[in-house]
Structure 1
Amino acid sequence: MAGQSLFHELVGLLPHQKSEGETVFPVVLSPNPKIPKAVHLPEAIKANRSWLDSLLHRSGAILFRGFPVSSASDFNDVVESSGYEDFSYGVGGAGTRTKVVDRVYTANEAPPDQNIPFHHEMSHVPVFPSKLFFFCEVEPGKGGETCIALSHVIYERMQQKHPKFVEEMEEKGLIYTRVLGEESDPSSPVGRSWKETFMTDDKTVAEERAAKMGMKLEWMEGGVRVIIGPNAGFRYDEVKKHKIWFNGVVGRFEDKLNDDPSKAVMFSDGKPVPIDVRDDCCKILDEECVALQWRKGDVLLLDNLAVLHSRRPLTMLPRRVLASFCK
């Protein structure tokens, strides 16, 4: 059986789920209870690709809940069924991940007690995934929510709150500074070593790969300082005719290896981003986000251009969320 009748949309299931006209964020889809046999998610996605694409474009996020997806291999089948081309998480990524099977990786392996701040995946490099899949293999006991927020809403609220900053950001662009160690730091959400980040232990090769991504490397004792940018702090959605908040103003302050946190995010002229701007952005993100408390078998599909995501600290183990990236 094909068609949208394989799915049943749930509204009001998630706390703080957003609704604007006919658009819901996120959309929550479950198997149609009127269908007598089990609805397998890969088959349902294959039969409804165009409809799901339009739904994702309107909403920015789709949560598939209640389908029989129980393993990394099952999740890989779901990702493959989408028809989206694979984006290999390789050179340039900041978070520590382990490949599990085929197109599936662990989500950021930062310690569970740490917050992973809001971000767009790999927004600091020229080529980044357009879509993200997440899958809950082991449901957390408490905490560990994945929070999602619409980027154009964050842009609009930041423009209202800090119009001069937004104007300056658009005119100048932003520069990010990170310090990468010789070895990976498993205690940090952005703890990949320079060797792992650039997938080489040859400094010359690392410099060549960094240059292709708009990065400059300054070697120092015990590691390297990475200068990224200047990059635009926003992007414009030509179809929806609005600007989106596409930057690391929040996340880059979390780099604990940076010996001068005031230079973590700067304008292209070297002027630091004010701390009050960062703090207000954090507050707005918290106010506007939807916090997803994972259930085993959940699959979350995000438009990486439209939606920021984060992870709250986990207060009760275990939790295992897997990820996959698409071009």
Structure 2
Amino acid sequence: MDDLTGITVLRAEGERLGAFARRQAPAIHEAVAARGAVLIRGAGAEGVADFQQALDGLGFRPLEYTERSTPRSEVGDGVFTSTEYPAREVIPQHCESSYAGAWPGRLAFFCATPAATGGATPITDVERVLEEMPAEVVEALEARGLRYVRNYGSGVGLDWREAFQTDSRAEVDRFCAAGGLEWQWLEDDRLRTVRRAPATVTHPRTGRRVWFNHLVLFHQSALPSGLRADLVALFGADGLPNDVLFGDGSPIPDELVAAARAVFERRARRFAWRRHDLLVIDNMRWSHGREAFTGERRVLVSMSDPITRSARPEPAYRG
């Protein structure tokens, strides 16, 4: 059953997606500013070109996807496939690039082909997540912070060339230095990066604190237990493709992450994708994930309105 609580739903009644988005742009901007999530249903569309016209109508200036954490393919100008993980895998809740030094303020998801079964993109209000998070979890993470450790080039996960979209070590060095990353080149053409970041941040437009991190996705407990044990045995506890620790480098207990994950499970809003659905969300107000699926699911995504840890941008859209 669809749960659209907190999501504004607009009906296009067969109008071309690009034309509808342009005509309704003020209402869509107002709804995103007020509630953080808008779902457009019933539009006519044929594919990437219609999605890009809708993005243009909404004032999206699509971002490059750098410091990647998942495999994607670019299928248009700033339009990517959603994460290309096997259909059987569930992607836990996260705010896009919350582990990075910069992230998109807005995301747009376009359903070109819905799954035969499953395949929802659950979203969760991260302001409410923070309100419902157990006090001991918030206190521990706010006092100690987070440390994201990422390893590239081990044959598991992404190679550094794909993650940073360059073949040049010098370019990676410059990116890391400019973006506040600690980095180390290892033997066998491997790279390790470390970023220290808070678990909660203040939304630059609402002024409210939100839960904004990759804890439940990057933590080792997100892996199936057998795979987790195998990867640690093979690469060592500090050699996994992605991991998140306390800021001082000590492990975050599985129980703490389980408590955080339980809040997301209670608060998540789920709906079945329909062909040509367009979902626009504020990336600092709603997290997202992916459910397992069967069939030929194809959901595209575009990112806009960059936000950095060091500066607050001028609003790129009303609100």
TM score, norm. by length of structure 2: 0.84
Q: State whether structure 2 residue 23 is matched by structure 1 residue 47.
A: yes
**Counterpart contact for 2:114–2:296, Cα < 8 Å:** yes
Q: State whether structure 2 residue 101 is matched by structure 1 residue 119.
A: no
Rate the CA distance shift 1:210–1:285 in 2: closer, same or farther, 3 A.
same
Distance 1:49 1:296 in 2: 21
Root mean square deviation, CA, Å: 2.2
Q: What residue is the counterpart of 2:171 in the other structure?
A: 205
Q: State whether structure 2 residue 192 is matched by structure 1 residue 226.
A: yes
Of the candidates 12, 22, 31, which is equivalent to residue 31 of structure 1? 12
Distance 1:77 1:62 in 2: 17
**Counterpart contact for 2:119–2:291, Cα < 8 Å:** yes
**Counterpart contact for 1:104–1:324, Cα < 8 Å:** yes
Structure 1, gaps ≥5 residues long = 1-13, 19-24, 33-37, 186-190
- Three-state SS of the structure 2 residue aligned to 1:290 is coil
Distance 1:205 1:98 in 2: 21
Which aligned segments of 4 or more residues in structure 1 are displaced greater than 4 angstroms? 254-258
Deviations 1:204-238 (A, max 9, x none): 33222222222222333445353332112111136
Q: What residue is the counterpart of 2:150 in the other structure?
A: 178
Q: What residue is the counterpart of 2:315 in the other structure?
A: none
Q: What residue is the counterpart of 1:3 in the other structure?
A: none
State how 1:1-327 maps to structure 2 within 5 Å. Answer: 15-18=2-5, 25-31=6-12, 38-89=14-65, 91-158=66-133, 161=134, 163-181=135-153, 191-222=157-188, 224=190, 226-237=192-203, 239-253=205-219, 254=222, 259-260=236-237, 264-314=243-293, 316-327=294-305
Distance apart, 1:239 and its partner CA:
4.8
Which stretch shifts more, 267-276 or 55-64?
A: 267-276
Distance 1:127 1:111 in 2: 27
- Three-state SS of the structure 2 residue aligned to 1:122 is coil
**Counterpart contact for 1:70–1:296, Cα < 8 Å:** no
Distance 1:62 1:223 in 2: 43
Deviations 1:268-287 (A, max 9, x none): 22232221111111121111
The letter of the residue matching 1:121 is E
Rate the CA distance shift 1:203–1:239 in 2: closer, same or farther, 3 A.
closer
Structure 2, gaps ≥5 residues long = 306-319
- Three-state SS of the structure 1 residue aligned to 2:122 is strand
